[in-house]
């Protein structure tokens, strides 16, 4: 049977499904479902980390191997700086740009280094929106409680309170820079409801929210003439005699030379880990999402939090083959799109949290109610044409132009035909532990955005990442700038690396890989 024949069940059952309401799981059932089907609970995928600040903690094998990896920098490497700066930002996505702009605005000299181009990141792909409690019936406290519930009560309360309270002023800042959020007829910000949220709270720029924010922030970084080091991958941090962070060594990916930057403060905004393809999952992440910041800060002695939990976004494309792993925005479900199994039945409340929805999709597929493609992949249907049926023809095209175009390129009209989806590795819930100023336990080392941990607990709510980037990008930038203004540049040494190597030796040595990974090894070895 071809794809069109298989899709018929979705069309046939649509009217009946429209009349149903599907309840959310009660807490006990929800926990049971997650423990049985969520990839975070697949014990064989995990092992304890052998040494370092998180010795004994379990994480996925792919990440443990990198954390225990060796540096490419040898003792005695040349450390004469090529550049000196107050604030060194590593990473050019949302958090990096926000950090650089705020540090620059506070009067600091800033260098922003990134291994790809400025703004190449996951941020640019964020489609669903940004959660900020602006609606009259909403409040920062409700945003706090929703997020806590979504994060399985494991979120750091202080970080979370800061994020939800600073949200509205972030929206104001972005608007002042020219970000075009969707509006209501009365000029107020339009809010959409996101999975796991009790109130409509998502600010959107159609389904280009991340792209719109990043176009503006990148342009602003250029307008402010912030010094850039593009195609420069951080390969080691630098420390002084007291273990404080004092700079970084980069590899220029164009000429393979090392570039040493002396910095009074360092902000790591290196993003996530999707390209490690944990447990063999496809990913929605960008090319450079290889967890570099985790490895770098771990060797410096920074403690990590919640690194045993990852977000598998419920709706990664399964078909066509070219789009495997690519994200089908949660916005579709926010607007009422149903998830439908091979029998034509709904099986979960589509607006439950991402971990619950992903787990239930995996359950359907493992129990034989999935739809299998000829390449052996399995998925369930996301009923996109339902949106046009429900809200009038043209809805999908108007609200999801990015997604329409993405599938149209492969001859698929998602306003007429449902799409096949399966969870895709999307987000690292945890990361380097930070305080409310985004600083780690290593002095003068800040981490902002996806690379940081604690804020989202064990499951991030849709729309909270864009806000996280902006709030903690800003906080790290401001704190780093004011710190730098009242201190001298520290010595540039590799003492942390000597300590790390000594510790590795005690525990039977490093894992045998060089970390950070920088870019995934997709190039085929041609013999």
Residues involved in catalysis: 313, 333
Under the binding rule (CB under 8 A), the answer on residue 1 touching other proteins is yes
Cα 516 off chain centre by: 18
Who's near 96: CB < 8 A, 6+ residues apart? 89, 90, 112, 114, 121, 267, 269, 448, 449, 473
Q: Quote the DSSP letter at residue 517.
A: -
Give the number of other CB atoms < 10 A from CB of residue 527: 3
Q: How far is Cα 50 from Cα 507, in angstroms, rounded to an integer?
A: 7
Among residues 16, 175, 485, 487, the one that binds other proteins under rule CB under 8 A: 175
In the complex, least distance from residue 396 CB atom to other proteins, rounded to whole angstroms? 15
Strand partners, 381: 340, 420
Q: Count residues binding other proteins (CB under 8 A).
A: 92
- The answer to whether 362 and 442 are in contact (CB under 8 A) is no
In the complex, least distance from residue 46 CB atom to other proteins, rounded to whole angstroms? 25
Among residues 81, 105, 140, 336, the one that binds other proteins under rule CB under 8 A: 140
In 30-61, which positions are buried (b, 16+ CB within 10 angstroms) versus exposed (e)? beebbeebbbbeeeebbeebbbbbbeebebbb
- Full strand arrangement of the beta sheet holding 419-428: 310-317, 419-428, 378-383, 338-340
Among residues 28, 43, 374, 502, the one that binds other proteins under rule CB under 8 A: 374
Instruction: Mark 214-253 with x for binding to other proteins (rule: CB under 8 A) and - for no binding.
Output: -xx--xx-xx-x-----x---------------------x
Q: How far is Cα 344 from Cα 367, in angstroms, rounded to an integer?
A: 15
Among residues 8, 20, 32, 169, the one that binds other proteins under rule CB under 8 A: 169
Under the binding rule (CB under 8 A), the answer on residue 180 touching other proteins is yes
In the complex, least distance from residue 161 CB atom to other proteins, rounded to whole angstroms? 7
Instruction: Mark 418-437 with x for binding to other proteins (rule: CB under 8 A) and - for no binding.
Output: --x-----------------
Under the binding rule (CB under 8 A), the answer on residue 144 touching other proteins is yes
Stretch that binds other proteins, among 28-36, 99-107, 131-139, 455-463 (CB under 8 A): 131-139
Among residues 12, 18, 183, 416, the one that binds other proteins under rule CB under 8 A: 183
- The answer to whether 414 and 396 are in contact (CB under 8 A) is yes
Find the binding residues for other proteins in span 87-126 (CB under 8 A).
116-117, 119-122, 124-125
Q: How far is Cα 105 from Cα 108, in angstroms, rounded to an integer?
A: 7
Instruction: Mark 44-83 with x for binding to other proteins (rule: CB under 8 A) and - for no binding.
Output: ----------------------------------------
Instruction: Mark 314-343 with x for binding to other proteins (rule: CB under 8 A) and - for no binding.
Output: -----xxxx---xx--------------x-
Among residues 371, 384, 276, which one has the least CA distance to residue 14?
Answer: 384
Residue with Cβ nearer other proteins (361 or 497): 361
In the complex, least distance from residue 287 CB atom to other proteins, rounded to whole angstroms? 5
């Amino acid at each position: 049977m071809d794809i069109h024949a298989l899709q018929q069940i979705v069309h046939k059952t649509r009217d009946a499904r429209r009349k149903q309401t599907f309840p959310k799981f009660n807490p006990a059932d929800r926990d049971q479902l997650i423990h049985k089907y969520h990839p975070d609970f697949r014990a064989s995928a995990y092992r304890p980390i052998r040494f370092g600040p998180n010795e004994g903690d379990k994480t996925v094998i792919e990440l443990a191997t990198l954390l225990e990896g060796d540096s490419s920098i040898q003792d005695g490497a040349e450390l004469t700086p090529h550049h000196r700066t107050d604030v060194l930002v590593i990473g050019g996505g949302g958090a990096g740009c926000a950090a650089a702009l705020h540090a620059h605005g506070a009067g600091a000299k800033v260098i922003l280094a990134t291994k790809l181009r400025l703004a190449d990141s996951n941020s640019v792909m964020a489609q669903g929106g940004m959660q900020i409690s602006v609606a009259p019936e909403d409040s920062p406290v409700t945003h706090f409680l929703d997020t806590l519930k979504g994060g399985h009560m494991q979120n750091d309360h202080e970080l979370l309170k800061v994020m939800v309270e600073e949200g509205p002023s972030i929206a104001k800042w972005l608007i002042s820079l020219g970000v075009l959020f969707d509006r209501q007829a009365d000029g107020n910000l339009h809010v959409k409801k996101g999975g796991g949220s009790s109130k409509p709270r998502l600010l959107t720029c159609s389904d280009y929210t991340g792209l719109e924010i990043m176009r503006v922030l990148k342009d602003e970084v250029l307008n402010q003439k912030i010094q850039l080091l593009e195609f420069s991958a951080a390969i080691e941090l630098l420390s002084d005699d007291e273990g404080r962070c004092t700079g970084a060594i980069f590899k220029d990916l164009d000429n393979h030379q090392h570039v040493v930057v002396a910095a009074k403060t360092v902000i790591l905004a290196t993003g996530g880990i999707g390209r490690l393809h944990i447990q063999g999952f496809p990913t929605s992440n960008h090319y450079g999402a290889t967890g570099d910041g985790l490895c770098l800060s771990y060797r410096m002695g920074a403690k990590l939090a919640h690194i045993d939990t990852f977000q598998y976004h419920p709706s990664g494309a399964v078909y066509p083959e070219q789009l495997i792993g690519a994200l089908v925005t949660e916005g579709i479900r926010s607007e009422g799109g149903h998830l439908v199994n091979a029998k034509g039945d709904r099986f979960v409340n589509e607006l439950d949290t991402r971990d619950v929805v992903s787990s239930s999709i995996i359950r359907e597929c493992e129990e034989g109610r999935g739809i299998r493609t000829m390449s052996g992949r399995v998925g369930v249907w996301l009923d996109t044409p339902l949106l046009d049926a429900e809200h009038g023809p043209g809805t999908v095209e108007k609200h999801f132009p990015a997604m329409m175009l993405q599938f149209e390129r492969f001859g698929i009209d998602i306003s007429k035909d449902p799409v096949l989806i399966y969870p895709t590795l999307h987000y690292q819930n945890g990361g380097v532990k930070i305080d409310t100023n985004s600083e780690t336990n290593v002095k003068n080392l800040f981490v902002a955005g996806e690379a940081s941990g604690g804020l989202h607990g064990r499951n991030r709510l849709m729309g909270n990442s864009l806000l996280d980037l902006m709030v903690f990008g800003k906080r790290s930038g401001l704190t780093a700038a004011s710190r730098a203004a009242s201190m001298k540049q520290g010595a540039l040494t590799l003492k942390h690396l000597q300590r790390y190597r000594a510790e590795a030796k005690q525990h039977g040595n490093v894992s045998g890989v060089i970390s950070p990974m920088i870019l995934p090894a997709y190039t085929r070895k041609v013999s």
